Amino acid sequence: MRHPFILYIFLILGLSSSGQDYFNLDVKGTAGLYSGSESPFWMHTNRRGRLDEKTFYSGLLSGTAIFEIDNTRSFQFGGGFQYKDGYDDGLKIDEAYFSYVSPKIRVDIGKRQRTDLYQGLSVSNESILWSLNASPFPGVSIETVEPIFFKFKDYGLGFKFSFGEYLLDDDRYIDNPRLHHKSGHLVYRSQKDFEVSLGLQQFVQWAGTSEEFGRLPQTLEDYGRVITGRAGIDDVGGQEVNALGNQIGSYELKMKSRINDLDVEFFYNHIFEDGSGLKLGNFPDGRYGIYVEDNRDTFWGKDWIKAFMYEFHFTKNQSRSRKSSLEDGADNYFNNNLYRSGWTYQNLIIGNPFILTTDERFRIGVNIITAHHVGITGKAFKLPYRALLSYRKNYGVKDSFFPVTKEVISSYLEVELMKGDYNLSAFIASDIKSVDQSNFGTGLKFSRSLF
């Protein structure tokens, strides 16, 4: 596996610099057993690339240093090394980054793990395109921390944006492709705890080197076409006639409010990969959901439920209803004919993890799905817990449907047994496909802050 080691080492060395205002060093470990040939779905999914389907144990050493510029701005360094067994066993860099953070803007250089926004309850975190399933990519990015409002400081009409350039440095069908990312959202926030945002997000895999076509388009002019979503000058054997690179995006709608001390959020992500999707020709495909977080000391006198998440995922349309009989109307989410490793990084799905790779982990094997998912966290008998339950139907991929619909019920329950200088949790998980195809797993998670 290739990494920009010089950059990573430079960033890690920042952890040992003197004069930091804040410094911590953490160690974490996971160990599990399972009855099948691979672990149950929720034992390895959304683990930031730290676990895969064959992992039994893993360990992580990570640190963060924060240097305050003033009361609102800071420079931050972070880094971590991980060891695990599984498909890609061995020692690897989990993250290594330098950041500038202000109340409104954040700039990252390197490889930084992204924030979990829903207490580990969501399938896709904030986006159907970018979950917490795979490792972060090395690169440079700038994003708004909070919306920037046009007239007033904290409310009214405003906007959010992000812009990033990354390198996919894993082993892929196309060697060393680049990844362009941008997003933009209009935001309205009232003075009475109501906020709505509407916008879009776009990713483009482009450039790199192909064994068949050689060095792919990667000039400054090509980069301009990537940013604007236009076709390339050279369509690379007919593979980039519609748009340069592998382009994927989503429309995103989010509404948030506070109702009787409950934070409530509704969201919808509409996925698109071409012009028909941009025009909503693949509706109702997407991700729908609601998240509720309880900020009261107790809920109906108890603290059993502190947060709740429900998500519905649907990708069966895929623009199959185009009127022209001469045109193939079907999309093929997360797959691409030229960039055949698809929407993956280190053989793990980057976006919605209900979309699956093949058994060989080379191509997308399932992207036509319907799925219901529920996540709950709270305390039971004074022990903090997190519970996940998903029911999904897998229909395969374009032009290759399974003979019989495969239905899977996946569950996960984690209970925190110790919290303090040492943290210890126990978990159980299962996949139920049929009576003779059930898979069960159990294990322990350990963490400690060294200083």
Distance of CA 393 to the CA centre of its chain: 21
The gap between the terminal CA atoms of the chain, to the nearest Å, is 31
- Number of structural domains, the chain? 2
Quote the tokens at residue 315: 């990708």
Domain annotation covers residue 432: no
Total-model pTM: 0.91
217 lies in the same domain as 357: yes
Which residues in the chain come in under a pLDDT of 70?
Answer: 1-20, 233-235, 237-242, 297-301, 321-329, 400-405, 435
24 lies in the same domain as 124: no
The burial class, CB within 10 Å (0-12 / 13-18 / 19+), for 194 is middle
Do residues 111 and 8 lie in contact, with contact meaning Cβ atoms separated by under 8 Å?
Answer: yes
102 lies in the same domain as 129: no
pLDDT digits (tens, 9 = 90+) for 209-231: 999 889 999 999 999 989 988 77
Domain annotation covers residue 8: yes
Q: What is the pLDDT of residue 414?
A: 98
Domain annotation covers residue 410: no
Name residue 428's amino acid: I
Q: What is the pLDDT of residue 66?
A: 95
92 lies in the same domain as 198: no
Domain annotation covers residue 421: no
255 lies in the same domain as 385: yes
Domain annotation covers residue 86: yes
- Farthest-apart Cα atoms in the chain, separation: 68
Distance of CA 231 to the CA centre of its chain: 27
Within a 10 A sphere around the Cβ of 370, how many other Cβ atoms? 17
Q: In which domain, by residue range, is 87 found?
A: 1-113+442-451
251 lies in the same domain as 353: yes
Do residues 375 and 309 lie in contact, with contact meaning Cβ atoms separated by under 8 Å?
Answer: yes
36 lies in the same domain as 157: no
Name residue 417's amino acid: L
Q: What is the pLDDT of residue 296?
A: 76
Among 264, 256, 279, 254, smallest CA distance to 199 is for: 254
- Counts for the chain of helices (H) and strands (E), in that order: 4, 25
Among 8, 15, 115, smallest CA distance to 62 is for: 15
- Cα distances (Å, whole numbers) of residue 125 to 36, 119, 130, 199: 28, 9, 8, 17
225 lies in the same domain as 314: yes
CA–CA gap between residue 415 and residue 442 (Å, rounded)? 12
Q: What is the pLDDT of residue 111?
A: 98
85 lies in the same domain as 161: no
Domain annotation covers residue 433: no
179 lies in the same domain as 252: yes
DSSP state of 15: G
Domain annotation covers residue 414: no
90 lies in the same domain as 154: no
72 lies in the same domain as 155: no
Domain annotation covers residue 235: yes
